[in-house]
Amino acid sequence: MSEPLLEVSHLTKRYGQTEVLHDVSFSVRQGEVVVILGPSGCGKSTLLRCINALEPVQSGEIRLGGAPIDRSAKNLPALRRRIGMVFQSYELFPHLTVLDNILLAPCKVLKKKREEVLEEARALLKRVGLLEKENSYPRELSGGQKQRVAIVRALCMHPELLLFDEVTAALDPEMVREVLDVMLDLAREGKTMLIVTHEMQFARAVADRVLFLDGGGIAEEAAPDEFFDRPKTERAKQFLNMFEFDAVRPEKKTE
Q: What percent of the chain has pLDDT over 70?
A: 95
- Per-residue pLDDT tens digits for 186-207: 999 999 999 999 999 999 999 9
Residue type, 96: L
* Residue 231 three-state SS: coil
- Per-residue pLDDT tens digits for 2-18: 689 999 999 999 999 99
Q: What is the pLDDT of residue 1?
A: 55
Q: What is the pLDDT of residue 245?
A: 56
Residue 247 has pLDDT above 70, yes or no: no
Q: Which CATH superfamily is domain 4-240 in?
A: P-loop containing nucleotide triphosphate hydrolases (3.40.50.300)
- Per-residue pLDDT tens digits for 63-101: 999 999 988 878 888 888 899 999 888 889 999 999 999
Rounded CA separation 9/116 (Å):
38
How do the domains of the chain map onto residue ranges? 4-240
What is the pTM (predicted TM-score) of this model? Answer: 0.90
